[in-house]
Chain A
Amino acid sequence: MKSISRTVRSPLGRGAIVVLSMGAILALAGCSGGGSPSGDSSGSDSANKTWTSEAALVKAAKAEAKAGDGTVNIYMAPEYTPFAVPGFEKAYPWAKVNATELEPVPAVAKFSAEVSAGFSNSDVVFMHTSGVQTFKSAKAIAQVTVPNDSKVDPGLQDPNHYFHPVVELPEVILYNTSLVSKSDIPANVKDLSDPKYAGNLVMDTPQLGGPAGFVLASERSSLGDAGWKDWLQQIENGKPSLTGTSSDSYASLLRGDKSYCICSYGDYISQKPGTPVGLVAYGQGSGGNGVVVEPIVGVISNTAPHPALAALFVNWMLSADGGQAGFVSTSRVPVITGVPGSDAVSLPSGTKVFPLVSDLGAYITDPDTFNSVYKDIFK
């Protein structure tokens, strides 16, 4: 089992880390208000906290809001804000959300610039897991445990609580039912190297870190490094069509350009009735490792101007109301159980799910190694 806490090289330099650490101390001294954790404080940084009860967290956040302007600054993708912002403000009318609409990739770029400059603005940043390790190494994100972390699917949880999955994006194989007969449906991801699928596959460019990057990486542990590269080469020999995003892949599949795609499950469940696209939840097929689930995660800045409000926002995203806010508009799957209506967007019952954190830990902590292999093969 590979731990996601493995250290990688820091892009920020020692000087920046010193500045960051000092910034974190100053920020906490100046901005933490009356927010004191009810539980113990763990880790070396004073931003690290364990909130064991929601009541204590709310109390601390309220005190923080009273002492300051009552806002929490979040960087979040535009598809979530229309529901998440009013939902949180309705749950906690004394708090306000300053939401900056940023997709995960630019959110990482902006947060990275802030960290580099030692400037604290953001409280919570939502990103892909591939961005987490950099900030962790730079001590730019805090280890915070919120009460609702315990509700999260254990396979997605970060044991060190640097990141908090808020929605999950299952990555599946889809096929165009107008072009594919039942006998030609692949049972699992490994089948995609079969020459009979040559010229018929579309996926997002793996080195861009989207669904295809995750799904292809999931086979490395079972195939071994050499076998994995051979398998990737066999897929490449079939000249798959590579796109910029999984939404482009889905559009290509639906148009009929290609017959099969590695796509997001969200595209499948948001289809209109009669759409000629079928699903292979490959965890159900023989020999499959299980459906890879890519989480969108929230991280709390180590220099968050409003650390208690930040923790409260993350905690709310992991509540039933927050779970609904996460998927209502976007057909995303909540990471916690018991969210009303989540059956409509969840994977089919009994689907085997790939153990993300334990078996894809290498990809999460060191995506560049995988990406360089992808870049060499999928030229």
Chain B
Amino acid sequence: MTMAVAVARVGGIRRRRSRVVTPVIVGLFVAAVAAVVTIPVAIIVVLSFQSVTPLFKGGFTLANFSALLGSSTTWETLGNTLIFTAGGTALAMFLGTVTAWAMTSVNVPLRSILSVLPVCILILPPLVKDPSWIILFGKDNGLVNLFFHHVFGVQGSVVDVFTMTGMVLMAGVFTSPTAYAILLTPLRSVDRSLLEASQMSGAKLGRTLWKVVLPLIRPALLSAATLTAILIASGFETPVIIGLPARINMFIAEIYESISSPVNGLNYASAQASVYLVLTTVLVIIYLRATRNERRFAAVSGRGHQHTVIQAPVLRWVLFAFVSIYAIVGFLAPLAVTVLTAFLPYYSAAGGKNPFHDWTLANFEQVFTTPQVTSAILTSGALAATVALGVLVITVFLSVVALKTRARGRRIAEIVGMAPIATPALVYSVALLMTVLAIPGLARVAYGTIGLMYVAELVVFIPVALRLVSSSVIQVQDELLEASRMSGASYLRTIMTVLIPIIRPALFYAGGVLFIEAYRQLASIVLLVASNVTLVPFVSWTFWVSGGYPMLSALNVVTLVLPLLVAIAAVGVGNIGRRGATRRPADSETAPVITRLERII
């Protein structure tokens, strides 16, 4: 009794202190993130109303918008972007959702292997994905068309990547891993009792999925759709490598072209970016409105929670085939093309000839005798690891503030986290550069430092991580966190001992995705890169311009090893955490958390 009173007093003092201190700390943190995110974006908006680049010089004008909106090219490229984005998003969502459901909820054969492959798609850099798809699905000399021609005597092209359909397929396949990663944890968190109740009521599997499962994961679906749509609309490589030869111009390619122009390009590009900002902000608002009652979607609760895997004798093989084909087209075939061409002196299928001959190790000799390859891998790896860790810390914090507190204006944290996604990475890079140069004294301290690169990457990746993490945080019922708080645990301890263990698989996935994206990312730091720093994308470019595709392939084979290991480790550790949880006597994912809660209490 005495002990209980003492504990209650200590808990009461802690709660009173935290009522004062915590909101201040939270407010300062969110404000700091908001400043880093929004000031550069605001500068871009200001620049869009100027005719010359220096901020607040030369007066304001609507000339940039007048020229932009009066151009038929703008409307044509916006129309193309809309088709490309809508088609790619629909395909990415279909592939990501079906695959995530198959990997979490059906007894598909070889699930532990297949579940890694979609994440592996992410490790393919643009200079692997796009050229390899051209080699596979090119109109005249693509390997698939050559196969149909030689084996079945088909004349003409069966597939052609240089079309809008080809671009949509490409965007859908290569963006789907993001949807997959977002949906994995929510689908794994769907309680068996809900499915059983539906089936007991006479509903068949399809109806149960449509009426029970999909509504339960609606926030995650909206997150995934929003994110994939914006990623596709912002993606630069496919519009340039495939779109330009296909004469299908995209809005983002126009922005990059403007930035490249030395004559007032930045102001016009800022106007273009502002139009883009309006469109993406609309998407974000739609998402925020649709998920404003997010607590309704909490699915992971206390001891009663249990996930189930459907035993489906026929469906498991159908899904096995589906996921296998998806993995082949999205990862294994591009990887195989990359590995095979790495052993060629050149790649040519001109006139339908066999391109695979005269095998050589010369390309690998070149890679291993180029000293900057090792330093580039180490530097990019260190940068990516640091960025991934930093982004995870920030996004867990923002997610908790936005989704697990009742503070007034808590959704500002989510809006702040989503804001950077409205700006393409290169545009944000330019904006951050201008910000540092515009603030007196800051340039002398920060300009040309590695710190600025970190800031840029942290900000650019916050939205990606926020979507990956928040969809899992939503699923955790408030009662668990409230029980910890009621027992006297601080916010930090509650997060570390209750929340983090539950969302650990999602954190590993998010960490893996962030590492891979940061490892190959260049657009956000190309203008901010510090002196005497060599990164993998720079070495890739050098190999591309000086040695052609086979030498680049050899480099890619070597540099892909690190992100591939990270991807496997992220998924593997996440799965171990999940299996460890389900082996508990309570057969519950939350059993270890409950144990910790009991210890706290």
Contacts and interface: CB of A to CB of B under 8 A. Distances in A.
B565 interface: no
Nearest to B363: A272
Contact of B542 (A102, A113, A178, A329): A329
Contacts of B547: 270
A11 B53 CA distance: 7
Interface stretch (B111-119, B388-396, B467-475, B524-532): B524-532
Interface in B357-389: 358, 362, 370-372
Contact of A254 (B140, B261, B346, B533): B346
B347 A254 contact: yes
A202 B433 CA distance: 36
Chain B interface residue bracket vs A: 35 or more
Nearest to B50: A13
Contacts of A208: 257, 260
Given A99-B532, A176-B350, A178-B350, A121 B140 contact: no
Contacts of A109: 259-260, 262, 265-266, 430, 527
Given A101-B529, A117-B437, A272 B262 contact: no
Interface stretch (B207-215, B239-247, B309-317, B581-589): B239-247
Given A117-B434, A250-B548, A110 B527 contact: yes
B237 to A, nearest CB: 9
Interface stretch (A39-47, A226-234, A239-247): A239-247
Interface in A251-275: 251-252, 254-257, 266-267, 270-275
Interface in A1-46: 8-9, 11-13, 15-16
A289 interface: no
Given A79-B542, A110-B433, A244-B240, A255 B532 contact: no
A116 B266 CA distance: 11
A344 B266 CA distance: 41
Interface in A78-100: 78-79, 81-82, 98-100
Interface residues of A, number: 69
B57 A82 contact: no
B247 A379 contact: yes
Contacts of B349: 255-256
B338 to A, nearest CB: 14
B260 A105 contact: yes
A324 interface: no
A108 interface: yes
B424 to A, nearest CB: 14
Given A82-B372, A257-B138, A98 B531 contact: yes
Contacts of B370: 82
B351 A244 contact: no
A191 to B, nearest CB: 21
B141 A256 contact: yes
A54 interface: no
Interface string A354-379: 00000000000000100000000001
B135 interface: yes
A330 interface: yes
A2 B538 CA distance: 37
A248 interface: yes
Q: Which secondary structure dominates where chain A touches chain B? A: mixed
A131 interface: yes
Contacts of B430: 109, 113
Interface in B332-366: 345-351, 353, 358, 362
Nearest to A73: B531
A179 B351 contact: yes
A159 interface: no
A346 interface: no
B200 to A, nearest CB: 58
Contact of B134 (A98, A106, A255, A271): A255
A103 interface: yes
A329 B366 CA distance: 11
Interface in B508-541: 526-527, 529-534, 538-539, 541
A248 B241 contact: yes
A155 interface: no
A122 to B, nearest CB: 9
Contact of A255 (B135, B362, B533, B546): B135
Given A11-B52, A256-B141, A331-B546, A113 B527 contact: yes
Contacts of B362: 272
B263 A368 contact: yes
Residue of B247, B261, B526 with highest tally of chain A CB at under 10 A: B261
Nearest to A207: B257
Nearest to A273: B345
Interface string B229-243: 000000000001100
A103 to B, nearest CB: 7
A315 interface: no
B138 A255 contact: yes
A15 B443 contact: no
Interface string B46-76: 0000001110011000000000000000000
B260 A242 contact: no
B29 interface: no
Contacts of B351: 178-179, 256
B290 interface: no
A100 B247 contact: no
Contacts of A112: 53, 262, 266
A254 B348 contact: yes
A330 B263 contact: no
A205 B541 contact: no
B94 interface: no
A368 B430 CA distance: 22
B380 to A, nearest CB: 13
Nearest to A264: B545
B435 to A, nearest CB: 10
Closest 7 CB pairs of A and B: A256-B350, A117-B437, A272-B345, A78-B538, A178-B350, A98-B531, A244-B240
6 contacts: A100-B448, A109-B265, A113-B266, A121-B448, A243-B245, A247-B545
Given A13-B52, A101-B534, A254-B548, 16 more contacts: A78-B538, A82-B371, A100-B448, A106-B526, A109-B430, A110-B527, A113-B53, A119-B447, A178-B348, A242-B244, A255-B138, A255-B349, A255-B350, A256-B353, A275-B348, A379-B247
Interface of B: 52-54, 57-58, 131, 134-135, 138-141, 240-241, 244-245, 247, 257, 259-266, 345-351, 353, 358, 362, 370-372, 430, 433-434, 437-438, 443, 447-448, 526-527, 529-534, 538-539, 541-542, 544-549
